[in-house]
A and B are shown apart, each in its own frame.
Chain A
């Protein structure tokens, strides 16, 4: 009987160490810093096509200190399980002028970014699918 008690106590101690580890890992990944492997041609030449490991910090978004020119990781509006890496071109309230297809035509359109949204574009305008296709993206953290 006493042996079971000792074994149970030790199991609880080990389990609590593992639980603490996963807890700290989750809190750090979600609220402080995490790393991501991103790949694709839409951010050439900034990010390579075969894949880069980037450091993602999550504190600036909570403090509201994101601005145009920042590289951000957002959830794709077309598929919430996928993440996109793009650059913020305009914040809410700004007017943005863009052309849908730089290779085909010179025509451009303008619109004002609504409240709570940002306009994101990939650095490689020719192959990137971004706000020019799916509209302004709601300011959500990853």
Chain B
């Protein structure tokens, strides 16, 4: 659905009719193929398997068990005491118990290596809102954010659409596992300057989407030095922080700030959400954690446009305050994701497909460049088309993530049963065998 409308004489805004919502990219076209022919184990075993959706479905049983044993978290108890107060609560500071539980959950995820103060937690309806909000606060229309490639396709809309802010890519490539180098950072900054565009911040996702890998400590240190030198901000979207397969491998920018005694911390802002770690994207729970008082105050006021349902805050305050539950959840979830990851990596390896060495997230970054006829974006899209329509797997082409090297694909593994994953791997095996023969 494009926006080819004849300009009505009562105009809508440029924002309304623009395409910066980004929804015409192949990322969304793959969804269409899936929607039209979705795989189902029983009723449609030849359908398209959805591997383009970074959802975490491996740990629902833990959540369901909690809900069963703690029904007052969702029902306000018999006679619904507390219902009125909850229904009336629209304070943009958020439920204190929930903020506190969220701060402590974020600490637990980082193995207690960083402290989070509840008063610095600002609540938003999802990380989508959090990222847009921060962009409104940190940049003016026409300014730019530097974002390392490949990046989550949704950023094109979330960071740019209504804000009028630009994204200037920090080009990363496979020569060093797509890590951000000082040269690439500087080059991106210069590129923005050359266009007379003011750079306001660097925005990273750590662990990375779509790479499925954590950012190394040295790279983070370098980033902090860079933003300090240039007097700009650093936004660290840590939405996948609870999905790291091994806790010790994740270094949050929060830890580094603490080690530096919070020097220059007021330029750093962390985004988090429960959509990936807890598998609750429908509940719209995001947060901004900022070390900058003015940003906290402004973000809080702006969050009026995107508050979290108090019903949901109540439920999650209860769940996340239960330390026994959260500890067990974090550990078990991590373990299950690691198992899934190994399963898919081994499966792909056995048919000669290599992936980037990953250690986090709900997906792997698969290298199919050896299979490309033409090592171009078109070549990649041709291969992608074949995979979607012949192999019937919806995966995300690297070009939709602005990857500078053709042939890479993001493949999700946590949004399906093990059986379905096995079916997907089997289809890939057959596909690879067919190719070898040709």
Bound together: no
B-side residues, CB < 8 A to A, are none
